[in-house]
């Protein structure tokens, strides 16, 4: 660690302290280069995503055709999990659980945040690498270990964890309450502990790099919005993941060491009265959701940051309201810590708490709305280039609107009584996470692919991928709102408990068919992604004509330290697109101010100035002051 501390941001490149020989292992496996690590996160995330998607197709088959037998299921899964070609109800629960766990943590957190924070933070702030490349490498390998453990847990004899991705005790604490709560649950907990380790190691790195290793001229308010987003995401993770770790440890104790943190008053059929007394299952829920809520913002913030960047670049316009975007991120980040109880309105906790959480939850809708309006204003009067990345960014905004608005229903405790744990909730979180956030990831992949692999992904396939996925995703999740409004709970193996639920059988078929089409559309993406690595058109240095620093770094795998010579100095903010009076419709951050710049009431050009010298509007002034108070501003 002391070695890296002596590396200043603008110091010599990696080669300087003795060129060491790279072999396959140090270059591709245990790499400490942030770009390689980001690829590792990406590919592992994609593979886990395929696995999670496969599971969703399997349980959708059960929901659409509960009467039919699929002999291939019995062939693949065996007669224990698919007797007679129909999924076993316990295994169904396991599929639902692992699908949720994989998608939330392994794809959307690691695959989105892990990939892009690692790739972009050093490149966009102008650093040679992360603050601690070694810890960064560890963060990937903890993630890999976690993925392996979780994947293996699906194939054990007693089945994977099956109490939902939220794994509430007592169900998840008692192996005799359901088979998946045996070894499967233990492995789930092991995987989560490893995952949390990965997240913390990464998060510390991201924060340190952003705060300490920005290049000359890169003040906080000249950072691209992606970096702001990754920064807040890392802060959220650092403060909230440890609470889940604590909650998981207590669950491990209850399961294995006879404690009663979460257990009390339990009589298990077939086992008898358990001795545990005094614990509260609601405690676990508090500990879980204290992470769980920030977790969903950990997922969406990077996606929103990526969208800000991609929309600006492709509309050839500055992102509208840069400062408002930053402040709304601060608002979201802060508020996300005090709304977790909205997942628990009907858990039996004190209704007064419900009132408190409701108020804060509806407040957090405001900054989210502001961001959406800013995206719309960025598109307005733009010169929109429809790259696949841009389409995915636009798709994200559409899903964010749809999913975010239904959050307003759920955040209202009185309405939540009716909608909690129904398909309405499933529709809501899939629209915001399963659609909006994943589209952010896709947008990022299509946009920064040239930076990752030096080649372009095929554009036509990208368009097809987008439109098929976009339409399929809406067809899958929009009808679910109505299924929820009909009072049908989630995590149901089949809709047979009441005869009137049978009217939704056709809708289930529609949803499943759309889901299968959506799943197959991802093959377009997978083919595009992997074949373009080897056969894609070689990319130019700055294919999207973007202003940010990552496009000034040559794409050469042999190059460590990102820039061959000195790290560039930054003279302006990253959003000078279509600035009047210039030949090009973009001005990279490294282009100096020639002194004749019209100061358009936005002190993002010229070097950072102390507050009194500028004639900035109050909002910018305030943000500058705030940043100074937070110790974030280099003055």
Partner 1 sequence: MKIKLSGKLKNLLILTTAFLLINTVSGAVIKESISGKPVDDATIAAGKTLFTNKCASCHAIDNKLIGPALKDVHKRRQYDWLTKWIRNNEELRKSGDKDAIEVWEKNNKAAMNTFTDLNDDDIASIVMYIEDASAGGDKPAAAGPTAVDTGLSAPVDPSLISRVNWMMILLFVLIAVILFTIVKIIDQVSAIRGSEVIKWNEINGLICVLFMIAGFIACIWEFSVHGKMVLPEAATEHGRKVDQMFNITLYFTGFVFVITEFLLFYFAFKYRGRKGKVALYYSHNNKIEAVWTIIPAIVLTVLVIGGLKTWNGITNNPERNKFNVEIFAYQFGWSARFPGADGKLGNSNWNLIANDNLLGVAIKEKAEGLIPVLMKDTADFAKQIKELPLKLAVLKSDLGGLVGEERDAQLSKIAEIEDGIAESDLRKSTSNRVIQIGRIKKSLETANEKAFYDNSGLDDIIVDNEIHIPINRTITFKFRARDVIHSAYIPMFRSQINVVPGLPTEIVFKPIETTKEKQAKLNRPDFDYYILCAKICGSGHFSMKMKIVVDSEADYKAWINKQNGAFVKEKPTAPVENQKDSTQKILAIN
Query: Is residue 84 near partner 1 by the rule CB under 8 A?
Result: yes
Task: State which residue, 9 or 384, has the beta carbon closest to partner 1.
Answer: 384
Task: Choose, by CB under 8 A, the member of 28, 168, 253, 337 that binds partner 1.
Answer: 168
- By CB under 8 A, name the one of 232, 261, 322, 525 that touches partner 1: 322
Assess 208 for contact with partner 1 (CB under 8 A): no
Q: Which helix (H) or strand (E) holds 123?
A: helix 115-125
- Binding flags for partner 1, 399-418, as an x/- string (CB under 8 A): --xx--xx-xx--xxxx-xx
| 334 counts as binding partner 1 under rule CB under 8 A | no
User: In the complex with partner 1, which residue's Cβ is closer, 9 or 401?
Assistant: 401
Interface residues for partner 1 in 429-458 (CB under 8 A)? Answer: 458
Q: Taking the complex as a whole, how short is the minimal distance between the CB of residue 122 and partner 1, in angstroms? A: 27
- Span of 16-24, 344-352, 440-448, 627-635 interacting with partner 1 by CB under 8 A: 344-352
What is the footprint of partner 1 within residues 144-163 (CB under 8 A)?
157-158, 163
Among 10, 208, 280, 614, binds partner 1 (CB under 8 A): 280
Site for partner 1 in 523-552 (CB under 8 A): 523-524
Contacts of 317 (CB under 8 A, 6+ apart): 378, 381, 382, 383, 575, 577, 578
Shortest distance, position 500 Cβ to partner 1, whole Å: 7
CB of 213 to partner 1, least distance (A): 27
User: What's the CA gap between 200 and 204, in Å, rounded?
Assistant: 6
From the list 78-86, 129-137, 248-256, 299-307, the region that binds partner 1 by CB under 8 A is 78-86
CA distance 287 to 263: 15
Residues 30-69 that bind partner 1 (CB under 8 A): 65-68
Terminal Cα distance for the chain, rounded: 27
Cβ neighbours for 578, distance < 8 A, ≥ 6 positions apart:
316, 317, 383, 585, 586
- Rounded CA-CA distance 448/319 in Å is 18
CB of residue 474 to partner 1, shortest distance in Å = 7
Minimum distance, C-beta of residue 298 to partner 1, in the bound complex (Å): 23
Q: Which is nearer to partner 1, 337 or 409 (CB)?
A: 409
Which is closer to partner 1, CB of 117 or CB of 378? 378
Cα distance between residue 430 and residue 283, in whole Å: 26
CA distance 213 to 204: 13
To 10 degrees, the CA torsion angle through 16, 17, 18, 22? -90
Q: Quote the least distance from Cβ 58 to partner 1, whole Å.
A: 16
Q: For 213-235, give one letter per residue: b (16+ CB within 10 A) or e.
A: bbbbbbbbbbbbbbbbbbbbbbb
User: What single string gives the DSSP state of each residue in 572-633?
Assistant: S-TT-BS-TT-SSSB--TTSPP-S-----S-TTSSS---GGG----HHHHHHHHHHHHTT-S
Quick check: bond before 327 cis, omega within 30? Answer: no
Q: Which is nearer to partner 1, 26 or 347 (CB)?
A: 347
Residue span 376-395 as binding mask against partner 1, x where in contact by CB under 8 A, dash where not? xx-xxxxxxxx----x--x-
């Amino acid at each position: 660690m002391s070695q890296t501390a002596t590396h200043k941001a603008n110091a010599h490149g990696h080669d300087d302290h003795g060129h060491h020989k790279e072999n396959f292992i140090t270059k591709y496996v245990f790499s400490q280069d942030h770009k390689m690590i980001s690829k590792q996160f990406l590919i592992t995330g994609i593979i886990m995503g395929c696995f999670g998607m496969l599971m969703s197709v399997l349980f959708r088959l059960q929901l659409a055709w509960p009467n039919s037998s699929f002999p291939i299921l019995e062939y693949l899964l065996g007669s224990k999990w698919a007797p007679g070609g129909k999924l076993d109800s316990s295994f169904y629960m396991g599929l639902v659980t692992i699908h949720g766990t994989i998608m939330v943590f392994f794809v959307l957190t690691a695959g989105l945040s892990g990939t892009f924070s690692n790739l972009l933070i050093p490149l966009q702030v102008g650093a040679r690498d992360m603050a601690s490349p070694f810890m960064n490498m560890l963060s990937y390998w903890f993630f890999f270990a976690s993925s392996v453990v979780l994947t293996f847990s699906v194939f054990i004899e007693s089945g994977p964890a099956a109490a939902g991705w939220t794994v509430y005790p007592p169900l998840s604490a008692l192996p005799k309450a359901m088979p998946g709560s045996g070894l499967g649950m233990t492995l789930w907990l092991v995987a989560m502990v490893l995952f949390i380790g990965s997240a913390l190691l990464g998060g510390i790195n991201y924060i340190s790099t952003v705060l300490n290793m920005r290049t000359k001229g890169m003040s906080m308010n000249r950072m691209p919005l992606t970096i702001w987003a990754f920064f807040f995401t890392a802060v959220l993770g650092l403060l909230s993941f440890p609470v889940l770790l604590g909650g998981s440890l207590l669950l491990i104790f209850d399961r294995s060491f006879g404690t009663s943190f979460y257990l009390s008053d339990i009589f298990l059929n077939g086992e008898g009265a358990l001795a545990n007394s005094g614990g509260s299952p609601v405690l676990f829920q508090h500990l879980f959701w204290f992470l769980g809520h920030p977790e969903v913002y950990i997922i969406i913030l990077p996606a929103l940051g990526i969208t800000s960047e991609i929309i600006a670049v492709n509309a050839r316009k500055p992102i509208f309201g840069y400062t408002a975007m930053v402040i709304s991120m601060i608002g979201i980040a802060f508020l996300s810590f005090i709304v977790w109880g909205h997942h628990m309105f009907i858990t039996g906790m004190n209704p007064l708490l419900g009132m408190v959480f409701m108020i804060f939850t509806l407040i957090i809708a405001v900054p989210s709305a502001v961001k959406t309006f800013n995206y719309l204003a960025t598109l307005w009067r733009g010169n929109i280039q429809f790259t696949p990345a841009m389409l995915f960014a636009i798709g994200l905004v559409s899903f964010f609107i749809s999913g975010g608005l239904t959050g307003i229903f759920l955040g209202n405790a009185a309405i939540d009584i009716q909608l909690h744990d129904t398909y309405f909730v499933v529709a809501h979180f899939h629209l915001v996470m399963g659609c909006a956030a994943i589209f952010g990831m896709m947008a990022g992949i299509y946009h920064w692919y040239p930076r990752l692999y030096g080649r372009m992904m095929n554009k036509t396939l990208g368009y097809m991928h987008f439109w098929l996925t976009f339409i399929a995703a809406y067809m899958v999740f929009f009808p679910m709102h109505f299924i929820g409004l009909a009072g049908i709970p989630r995590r149901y193996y089949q809709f047979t408990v009441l005869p009137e639920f049978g009217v939704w059988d056709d809708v289930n078929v529609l949803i499943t068919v759309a889901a299968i089409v959506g799943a197959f559309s991802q093959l377009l993406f997978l083919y595009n992604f992997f074949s373009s690595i080897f056969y894609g058109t070689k990319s130019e240095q700055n294919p999207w004509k973007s202003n940010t620093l990552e496009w000034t770094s040559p794409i050469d795998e042999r190059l460590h330290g990102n820039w061959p010579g000195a790290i560039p100095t930054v003279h302006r903010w990253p959003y000078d697109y279509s600035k009047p009076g210039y030949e090009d419709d973009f001005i990279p951050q490294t282009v100096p101010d020639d002194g004749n710049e019209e100061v358009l009431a936005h002190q993002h050009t010229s070097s950072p100035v102390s507050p009194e010298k500028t004639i900035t509007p109050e909002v910018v002034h305030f943000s500058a002051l705030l940043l100074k108070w937070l110790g974030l501003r280099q003055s």
